[in-house]
Amino acid sequence: MRFAEIINEYNWDDIKLRIANKTSRDVELALSKNSRLSVEDFMALISPAALPYLEQMAVLSRKYTQQRFGKTIQFYIPLYLTNSCSNHCIYCGFNHNNDIKRIILTDEQIMREVEAIKEIGDFQHILLVTGENPRDAGVEYIENAINLVKPYFSSISVEVQPLKEEEYRRLNGAGLNAVYCYQETYNKDRYKVYHPKGMKSKFDWRLDTFDRMGKAGVHKIGLGVLIGLEDWRTDVTMMALHLRYLQKNYWQTKYSISFPRMRPHEGEDFQPNVIMQDKELAQLVFAYRIFDHDIEIALSTREDKQFRDNMTTLGVTSLSAGSKTDPGGYAVYKQELEQFVVNDDRAPEDILQAVKGQGYEVVWKDWDLSLQ
């Protein structure tokens, strides 16, 4: 059974209420377990009842992270290839309705960006990002971009529009290592409010993307929700259910998660429906690490430098550094067309020194690929 069918068995409001009704006893039981936690345990750890236990959760999160990943943080850098998008997401700067100059980088411009990236750090893990417009950046364009950057990076990930299973297989053959796709929110009833037009408005098509990745043998799959749309505790619980489903059905695949908070962007004046405090985001990181010791947890430059530095040793395994969120932002166009405003704008070397100052080592490559 597809997860798009399984999710229909869960009632959003019921899960929200179950989380709210978790008690300190439920939290203590979850924290005392030596075996794998259930989704019910996870719900206890993200509940308001767990807030007094943050210090204990932080200790466990650090312990489990160091057991699996050691004292290391992986660095990656995004390369935005296009901002052309056929979707109408009301929270995004690339919204089709926004009056911005649309850019599709040429081969020459892509290589100029690669050269600029190599000048600012020893990055070996690159994330290729496009707007979701198959006409301007379909599988042929993405495959070509992978082939262009492949000689310069040991690990290539993409964050692009959902593709067909055979298209993921095609990109695997070109050298693709990981695919990141964000459902944004698992609230099916409210989903179309935020995604009124375009292929992204098709909830089931997007949710089925992860099955297509798994069947295609994608090495690593990244999941995420956008914090600010709906009740974050319910959304991340749905994502935990999704993660368990994927791990059961595609057990040879590695998984990564992230939960970006909304940042200012160009276009419609959409304000977040939910504001997540720093301590709640920390709670969420701790809860996911205790829930799954092996999952990779990424923290992007959406977050400020103080929060990112504080979380370096407490459960996060992957940080972006020196990020530009506009196509051509490193060398060609210089921050004219950002998808969202970067919060931690430090140079990679500065972030590197901050990580080393906490006794951790920066890993520029993908861990799993380095071990193969």
The residues with which 257 forms a beta bridge, in sequence order, are 223, 297
Read off the DSSP letter of residue 52.
G
The residues with which 157 forms a beta bridge, in sequence order, are 127, 178
Average pLDDT, the chain: 92
Q: Of 179 and 272, which is predicted with more confidence?
A: 179
pLDDT of residue 338: 54
Determine the Cα–Cα distance for residues 127 and 157; give it in Å rounded to an integer. Answer: 5
**Confidence tier at 341 by pLDDT (50, 70, 90):** low
**Confidence tier at 226 by pLDDT (50, 70, 90):** very high
Q: How far is CA 2 from the centre of its chain?
A: 22
Q: Tell me what the mean pLDDT of segment 2-10 comes to.
A: 95
Residue range 233-255, pLDDT digits in tens: 999 999 999 999 999 999 999 99
Whether 307 contacts 62, CB under 8 Å: no
Residue range 161-174, pLDDT digits in tens: 999 999 999 999 99
pLDDT of residue 336: 52
Of the candidates 307, 348, 345, 318, which has an alpha carbon nearest to the alpha carbon of residue 121? 348
Buried-exposed string 318-340: b where 16+ CB fall within 10 A, e elsewhere: bbbbbbbbbbbbbbbbeeebbbb
pLDDT of residue 371: 45
pLDDT of residue 364: 80
pLDDT higher than threshold 80 for residue 367: no
pLDDT of residue 372: 47
- Which amino acid, one-letter code, is at 175? G
pLDDT higher than threshold 90 for residue 320: yes
**Confidence tier at 57 by pLDDT (50, 70, 90):** very high
Determine the Cα–Cα distance for residues 191 and 52; give it in Å rounded to an integer. Answer: 33
Of the candidates 41, 61, 36, 129, which has an alpha carbon nearest to the alpha carbon of residue 311? 61
**Confidence tier at 335 by pLDDT (50, 70, 90):** low
pLDDT higher than threshold 80 for residue 206: yes
Residue range 98-129, pLDDT digits in tens: 877 899 999 999 999 999 999 999 999 999 99
Q: Tell me what the mean pLDDT of segment 39-46 comes to.
A: 98
Q: Which CATH superfamily is domain 3-371 in?
A: Aldolase class I (3.20.20.70)
**Confidence tier at 92 by pLDDT (50, 70, 90):** confident
* 345: alpha, beta or left? (left if phi > 0; alpha if psi -120 to 50): alpha
- The pair of three-digit structure tokens given for residue 183, joined into one six-digit string: 């459902």
pLDDT higher than threshold 80 for residue 305: yes
pLDDT of residue 264: 60
Characterize the bridge pairing of strands 72-80 and 178-180. unpaired
Residue 66: partners with Cβ closer than 8 Å, 6 or more residues away? none
* 306: alpha, beta or left? (left if phi > 0; alpha if psi -120 to 50): alpha
Residue range 287-298, pLDDT digits in tens: 999 999 999 999
N-term to C-term CA, the chain? 32
Determine the Cα–Cα distance for residues 361 and 72; give it in Å rounded to an integer. Answer: 5
Q: Where are the alpha helices (DSSP H) in the chain?
A: 3-6, 12-20, 24-32, 39-46, 54-69, 107-120, 139-149, 165-174, 188-194, 203-216, 232-249, 278-291, 305-311, 348-356, 367-371
- Which amino acid, one-letter code, is at 9? E
**Confidence tier at 198 by pLDDT (50, 70, 90):** very high
Determine the Cα–Cα distance for residues 302 and 278; give it in Å rounded to an integer. Answer: 13
pLDDT higher than threshold 80 for residue 158: yes
Handedness of CA 129, 132, 133, 138 (dihedral sign): positive
**Confidence tier at 325 by pLDDT (50, 70, 90):** confident
